Structure 1
Amino acid sequence: MELLKLAALDTDDLAVLSAHLQDAIVRTEDLAYLADTHRFVLVARRFDWSAEAGAPPRRRLTGVHFERVLGVRHRGLVPGASSETPLELLAVTFTPGEAPSGTATLVFAGNAAIQLDLECIEVRLKDLGPVWEVDGRPDHEAVAAGRAAVEGRPS
């Protein structure tokens, strides 16, 4: 079982990293902005989308760090604060600014987000080792149908 290790230095790389982090579970106390080193770090329990067909679904403990972070903004959560409710990471996006700078956004379910103002894209992801089986796979169609029902619109 090989550990995943990725680096993102442009938007294409970041899209690959985002795909591997889709549906990762993150606790707010596992998010930190280290202002003195211009680094934002997080530990996630990512769903292993690359597991072989027929293998039981599993999650892996994964560390991610963004370098050259100039500022951080957040909505719907407080990084580093203790919370009983875990966050579900949906995607990592990038909005270009004056090249090569821009803003990376970590988009979470429940309308929460973290925006990182970056000097440039420099992100690393590394599996930390622990792997465990989980009961099921994320079901995006079911989630969309549930949101539509709550909002009173057809799915």
Structure 2
Amino acid sequence: MPVKLVALDEDDLAVISAHAQDAVVRAADIVWQPGDKRLVIGMSRPDWEQALGGAASPRRLISVLRFDRVLACRSRRIERDGPRARLNIVGVAFHPATPPGGHVVLMFGDGAALRLDVECLECGLVDLGRDGSGEAVSGDASLSSPARP
């Protein structure tokens, strides 16, 4: 079943992190929009509800993970110039600083990571539909931008 989730605190973000776990992300589908204080990530994620229902090979869903009120975005071990580069999400966590701000850390396989400095935690995960290819896709105007972290 498609999800539409919002996270405004650490507990909410833990739910989004669980849904995003094992998602496949292309580096080209990570879009940092500093003028809008936004980071958008297109991904192909497992349908965990179907997996928990006993499906041997759960379908994948095209999803968008969005962070608003982002002041800065830093990356580690992410190949920015490799549009074929693939990342697997391990988890997403919020580390509070001066309230209501803090840092969001997106952890990927092989030690890659994104660190977002945020005014406050404001995140959403929306499923757009089924993915027959198992890969993240781009093409939606909201996901296309030459600026990347």
The normalised TM-score by structure 2 is 0.83
One-letter code aligned to 2:84: E
SS in structure 2 of the partner of residue 16 of structure 1:
helix
CA contact (8 A) 1:57 1:133 kept: no
* Paired residues, number: 132
What corresponds to 2:74 in structure 1?
Answer: 73
Equivalences for residues 43-62 of structure 1 within 5 A:
43-51=42-50, 52-54=53-55, 56-62=57-63
1:12 is aligned to 2:7: no
Let me know the Cα RMSD of the aligned residues.
1.6
Q: Give secondary structure in 2 for the equivalent of 1:65.
A: strand
The 5-angstrom pairing of residues 79-118 of structure 1 reads: 79=80, 81-118=81-118
SS at match of 2:49: coil
The structure with higher relative contact order (CA 8 Å, sep 6+) is 2
CA deviation digits over 1:35-82, x for unaligned, max 9?
Answer: 111000010101111112236311100011100000011000145x33
Render the CA deviation track for 1:85-126: whole Å, top value 9, x for unaligned.
Answer: 310000001111001100000000011000000100100110
Q: Which residue matches 1:21?
A: 20
Quick one: which amino acid aligns to residue 39 of structure 1? R
Residues 1:63 and 2:64 are matched in the alignment: yes
Amino acid of the structure 2 residue aligned with 1:59: R
**1:30 is matched with which residue?**
29
What residue identity is the alignment partner of 1:41?
V
Structure 1 residue aligned with 2:123: 123
- Kept in 2: contact 1:94–1:104 (CA 8 A): yes
CA contact (8 A) 2:104 2:115 kept: yes
Residue 146 of structure 2 corresponds to none
Percent sequence identity over matched residues? 40
CA 1:93 to 1:3, structure 2 compared with 1: closer, same or farther past 3 Å?
same
**Contact persistence 1:58–1:133 (CA under 8 A):** no
Distance 1:84 1:133, change over 3 A: closer
Cα distance 1:113–1:34, how it changes in 2: closer, same or farther (>3 A)?
A: same
- Are the aligned partners of 2:14 and 2:93 in contact in 1 as well (CA < 8 Å)? yes
Which one has the largest radius of gyration? 1
Q: Distance in 2 between matches of 1:59 and 1:36?
A: 32
Q: Secondary structure at the match of 2:29?
A: strand
Q: In the aligned structure 2, how far is the partner of 1:107 from the partner of 1:85?
A: 15
In structure 1, the gaps of 5 or more residues are 135-155
